[in-house]
Amino acid sequence: MIGKLNHVAIVVADLEAGTAIYRDTLGAKVSAPLELPEHGVVTVFVELPNTKIELLYPLGENSPIAKYLEKNPGGGVHHVCYEVDDIEAAAAKMQAAGARVLGDIKIGAHNKPVLFLHPKDFCGTLVELEQA
Ligand SMILES: CC[C@@H](C(=O)O)C(=O)SCCNC(=O)CCNC(=O)[C@H](O)C(C)(C)COP(=O)(O)OP(=O)(O)OC[C@H]1O[C@@H](n2cnc3c(N)ncnc32)[C@H](O)[C@@H]1OP(=O)(O)O
Ligand SMILES: [Co+2]
């Protein structure tokens, strides 16, 4: 069912510093910061030849990454995002398999439908699915 790796997300303690590491130290092309209030994050996308890195920083009081940053004050790898052809069918398949789909299908950073799957059901890794 899953296709390409769309992105790996990294929570950062300082968005400017994290962006500078990818842009200046590692020499990657980075986007401008994008605020996504519906997701409670600010994101910077790092473009790589074969995938993307999504730098994440909390936005607002109820950010889903606030607790992660409390537990990991230096930041760290937060989720992986795989592409799927049909997000509704993927959600139904995951539920039928007994996996926990977190919340509703939303529009993600690339203006495409996304959903999240509980890390405890996927080898300790939070999984995002994005409709290609
Ligand atoms: C930019 C938009 C979009 C895109 O288009 O790409 C994004 O990527 S937005 C990204 C942010 N959004 C989300 O993360 C939404 C989904 N997340 C959630 O629903 C919750 O954050 C969560 C994953 C259910 C965690 O719940 P929470 O209440 O925040 O934390 P807990 O500490 O209670 O976690 C329970 C349990 O799970 C472990 N955990 C939490 N986060 C992760 C993680 N990222 N990777 C691996 N494991 C994780 C946590 O340690 C707890 O384990 P125990 O301590 O063993 O109970
Ligand atoms: Co993501």
Q: What is the pLDDT of residue 99?
A: 98
- 54 is a catalytic site residue: no
Q: What is the pLDDT of residue 59?
A: 98
Write out residues in the chain with pLDDT < 50, as ranges. none
Task: Give the 3-state DSSP-derived string for the chain, with helices as H, strands as E and coil as C.
Answer: CCCCEEEEEEECCCHHHHHHHHHHHCCCEECCCEEECCCCEEEEEEECCCCEEEEEEECCCCCCCHHHHHHCCCCEEEEEEEEECCHHHHHHHHHHCCCCEEEEEEECCCCCEEEEECHHHCCCCEEEEEEC
Q: Which bound ligand lies closest to the C-alpha atom of 122?
A: 1
CATH code that applies to domain 5-131: 3.10.180.10
Specify the pTM.
0.98
Distance 124 CA to ligand 2 centre (A): 16
Interface ipTM: 0.98
62, 65, 68: residue to mutate for ligand 1 pocket, most atoms within 8 A of CB: 68
Q: Residue 124: CB within 6 Å of ligand 1?
A: yes
Q: Residue 79: CB within 6 Å of ligand 1?
A: yes
Q: What is the pLDDT of residue 68?
A: 97
Distance 128 CA to ligand 1 centre (A): 11
Query: Which sequence spans correspond to the domains of the chain?
Result: 5-131
Q: Report the nearest-CA residue for atom 19 of ligand 1.
A: 102
Q: What is the pLDDT of residue 76?
A: 98
